[in-house]
Amino acid sequence: MASRFNPLKADATWQKAWEERRTFAARDDSPKPKSYVLEMFPYPSGRIHMGHVRNYTMGDVLARFRRMRGMEVLHPMGWDAFGMPAENAAMEKKVHPGTWTRANIATMKAQLKRLGFALDWTREIATCEPEYYGHEQALFLDFFESGLVYRKESAVNWDPVDMTVLANEQVIDGRGWRSGALIERRKLSQWFLKITQFADELLEGVQALEHWPDKVKLMQENWIGKSEGLQFRFKLSDGGEVEVFTTRPDTIFGSSFVAIAADHPIAQKLAAGNPEAAAFIELCKQGGTTAAELETQEKLGFDTGIRATHPFDPAWELPVYIANFVLMDYGTGAVFGVPAHDQRDFEFATKYKLPIRRVVSEGDKTDPEFHDNEAYTGPGTLVNSHFLDGMDVTDAKRAVIRRAEEGGWGTGTTVWRLRDWGVSRQRYWGTPIPIIHCESCGVVAAPRGSLPIKLPEDVSFDIPGNPLDRHPTWKNVDCPKCGAPARRETDTLDTFVDSSWYFIRFASQPDDKPFDKAVAEQWLPVGQYIGGVEHAILHLLYARFWTRALSHLGKLDVAEPFSGLFTQGMVTHETYKSLDGRWLSPEEIRKDSAGVLEITSGEPAEVGRIEKMSKSKKNTVDPEPIVDQYGADAVRWFMLSDSPPERDLEWSENGIEGAWRFVQRLWRLFDGLEDASGEDKDLDRKLHRTIAGVAEDIEALTFNKAVAKLYELVNAIERADPSASRTNAIRSLARVVAPMVPHLAEEAWAAMGNAEMIADAPWPEVDPALLVDDEVTIAVQVNGKLRDTLVMPKGAPRDIVEAAALASDKIVRVLEGKPPRKVIVVPDRLVNLVA
């Protein structure tokens, strides 16, 4: 009699078998076509969460499917293991960041294995190990030697109480996260990578990525931000000049002030003799350094008393302000303000009571008085603008640029929003920058033979700041050039550097160099990359830059690292709150007919919105106990089944139970396999359509559609009478579900008497003859208007189709019982009746 599927036993058996047989180890020398499937590697924060489970299940299904389709698949896994949380843990729990990180890796690796992912663990990478970051140091030196690395003064978040540099995420509402002190902007000499040298290539390249989501391409384009503009000089009342940059030269007649950055030379000069100006400049240094913070800060200004002359009207004077929203390192560090058509300028003009004049008409609004609550930044027709009146924005821009160039006071230019990438971090838990500072030789590359430059182990985190800075011996080295006592660079690399090339190291990992060009090129580009949309800008851009830079250095010949990209949705869950406003976890509540109750107090609890699982809202569900209860396959199935993969998936108890029941239903089919004879054409057709459809869905990553097709097939098999077709359908079904529920499929495959594993079995062949529809839907129109449809055998003769159309109740009613004047039949498609 039918037994129950025991997932715990099957999971363990097959996971062990895959591991022992090294089933998923990718072979560089395989003659098969190669496919590289990659999910973004996790940060080892402690435990796997549902988001990981969803992400890795999707990649796993594709990887397993492609293997069954005869490809040599590279599907590796590793750890993005450097970064702040390990240092925070070191401070809070008094444990070395390395100890904490490696323990987390061990836990999470076991959890991933428990889910049965088809990963090539022989290529596992942890970026915090010298075996990885030593090669990164070598690549940094390559960049350094070819001029792609330089040093520059740049602003950091400085915590004056803890006396340390803070990462942006450690600045909360302008204050240090530990000390609560107001954060200052400070200048430090830091390392930069010249990503701007590739701005053009990165922009053009992204446009050609066919298998990337449009929204991600747009985000990359906006981040790179190529804009055409005008750079021109205003004459100043003190006899000098100020050069401004604008992308909206068309709005020149709407300007009401000029604004310069706090560190603009004109502001600096003024501050020297004007304490009020100096105090204002000091004030501008407060607050964080992120662009978002600069956007949302209150717009503040200081009137310098200097006046600028409008380029088209010598009698028109504009006040020159120092303003906190103007950045020194963009454009020229100076702008002209047009309050009606720029939101920052609008806020500024409102505060300082400066004129707000409309110059671009939206619809039919043309009067110069502007009374809206926000700036109008859209397209329109120029008004109140002399020779520009009546032109559209594009033409007006060109007209102003032409006049400026003819008059010799300005030039049309291209500018990029993209900045060079500051990679210095004043932290311990990162890749040491392989540079030595010598008093007489300056900045010197560490000798190649000294790599990897390992992090010292004997460090303490009881005082804030970078332990490398205060380490007694690590930083003291002899200058490789002159031999004099020198100092090691104590900055470490931004962890985004670690993730900018890990996919290359996965593809090829020799001991003596970062990667082998020929081997890496066999696998690259990654055919399908899957991860969270939170990485849509920085990580992807940096990885694209590294790939191009390495190719530029002749180390690799790959233009784009990821030819296909997919960004999956989040896993969400209901939120709960106690009456006194505490978040409650799903384990802390009980649902019954009376509603939702807090278990400990017995008091009612409030059900909140369905939100992304997060620790702060306590709405997370730990995958591990769920896997232990239902087995890996049920969890995997649920992750794939409920929502389109790009949308959010709501975790629910019902959902996982439904998945578990389906796994058991599948097992009953496999377990009850009978030897029967006879043909069932309908079932044959259903099977072959499902095989073809599921294959397409997996390639398109529309797993929920594949799941729906599999439900239908299982229904059809359950309903069908025993036949050879039915037996064959069940055998094929095992292979079709194998990428999704691999443990169950292996168990079934073995029970069917196969010696090979199903992981090594080919995907079932499709008989194209069985894919053809043999019924068609025919539209019936009366005087060109659709009135009914008919389902007819394909190729039905005209007279039969015509008779069926005329016999339809609906048609009889429309024709009011009269015969039509004319009948037109388009075989298999349409009947048109002319009344």
| Interface positions with Zn ion (CB under 5 A) | 438, 440-441, 479, 481-482
Q: Is residue 341 near ligand ANZ by the rule CB under 6 A?
A: yes
Of 438 and 549, nearer to Zn ion (C-beta) is 438
Given a contact cutoff of 8 angstroms between Cβ atoms, the answer to whether 135 and 518 are in contact is no
Minimal distance, residue 253 CB to ligand ANZ, in Å: 11
**E strands of 556-612, at which residues?**
565-568, 571-577, 583-584, 589-592, 595-598, 606-612
Instruction: State yes or no: cis peptide before 525, omega within 30 of 0.
Output: yes
Is 232 among the residues that bind ligand ANZ (CB under 6 A)?
no
Does 257 bind ligand ANZ (CB under 6 A)? Our answer is no
CB of 329 to ligand ANZ, least distance (A): 7
Between residues 464 and 480, which has the closer beta carbon with respect to Zn ion?
480
Window of 45-53, 246-254, 592-600, 749-757 that interacts with ligand ANZ by CB under 6 A: 246-254
Under rule CB under 6 A, residue 830 binds ligand ANZ: no
Q: Does 326 bind ligand ANZ (CB under 6 A)?
A: yes
75/506 Cα distance (integer angstroms): 9
Q: Please identify, using beta-carbon distances, which residue of 436 and 540 lies nearer to Zn ion.
A: 436
Cβ proximity to ligand ANZ, 248 vs 427, nearer residue: 248
Binding site partner of 336, from Zn ion, ligand ANZ, none, Cβ cut-off 5-8 A by kind: ligand ANZ
Q: Measured from the CB atom, is 139 or 446 closer to Zn ion? A: 446
Separation between Cα atoms, residue 79 and residue 76, nearest integer Å: 11
Distance in Å, CB of 442 to Zn ion, minimum: 8
What crossing angle do the helices spanning 265-273 and 275-284 adopt, rounded to 10°? 130
> Residue 42, preceding bond cis, omega within 30 degrees?
no
Q: What are phi and psi of 321, to 5 degrees?
A: -110, 150
d(CA 728, CA 677): 10
In the complex, the smallest distance separating the C-beta of residue 483 from Zn ion, rounded to whole angstroms, is 7
Shorter beta-carbon distance to Zn ion: residue 463 or 482: 482
Site residues for ligand ANZ, 399-438, by CB under 6 A, read 417
Q: Which of 396, 78, 357 is nearest to 246 (CA)?
A: 396
Q: What is the DSSP letter of 357?
A: B
Is 754 a residue that touches ligand ANZ (CB under 6 A)?
no
Which one of Zn ion, ligand ANZ, none interacts with residue 468, CB within 5 to 8 A by kind?
Answer: none
Q: Does 330 bind ligand ANZ (CB under 6 A)?
A: yes
The answer to whether the beta carbons of residues 323 and 259 sit under 8 Å apart is yes
Burial class of 357 by CB neighbour count within 10 A (0 to 12, 13 to 18, 19+): buried
CA distances 698 to 39, 62, 451, 739, Å, are 15, 6, 44, 9
Among 55, 164, 251, 499, binds ligand ANZ (CB under 6 A): 251
Single residue of 237, 247, 297, 551 touching ligand ANZ by CB under 6 A = 247
Rank residues 331 and 693 by Cβ distance to ligand ANZ and give the closer one: 331
Among 64, 113, 233, 248, binds ligand ANZ (CB under 6 A): 248
Residues 152, 421: Cα–Cα separation, whole Å? 11
Q: Which stretch binds ligand ANZ (CB under 6 A): 43-51, 193-201, 321-329, 645-653?
A: 321-329
Rounded-to-integer distance, Cα 522 and Cα 500, Å: 19
Reported as half-sphere exposure (CB side, CA atoms, 13 A), residue 618 has a value of: 14
- Chosen residue from 227, 237, 522, 754 binding ligand ANZ by CB under 6 A: 227
Residues shown for the chain = 835
Q: Measured at the alpha carbon of residue 170, what is the angle toward residues 164 and 174, in degrees to the nearest 5? A: 90
Q: How far, in Å, CA of 119 to CA of 136, rounded?
A: 24
Q: Does 728 bind ligand ANZ (CB under 6 A)?
A: no
536 binds, among ligand ANZ, Zn ion, none (CB under 5 to 8 A by kind): none
Pairing between β-strand 257-260 and β-strand 313-323 as defined by DSSP bridges:
parallel
479 makes contact, choosing from Zn ion, ligand ANZ, none, with CB < 5 to 8 Å by partner type, with Zn ion
Rounded to the nearest 10°, the torsion over CA 242, 248, 251, 257 is -30
One residue of 245, 503, 638, 703 binding ligand ANZ per CB under 6 A: 245
Whole-angstrom distance, CA of residue 421 vs CA of residue 358 = 38
Taking the complex as a whole, how short is the minimal distance between the CB of residue 437 and Zn ion, in angstroms?
9
CB of 447 to Zn ion, least distance (A): 13
Q: Binder to ligand ANZ among 333, 430, 432, 467 (CB under 6 A)? A: 333
Q: Does 327 bind ligand ANZ (CB under 6 A)?
A: yes
Residues of this chain that bind ligand ANZ (CB under 6 A): 225, 227, 245-248, 251, 325-327, 330-331, 333, 335-336, 338, 341-342, 417
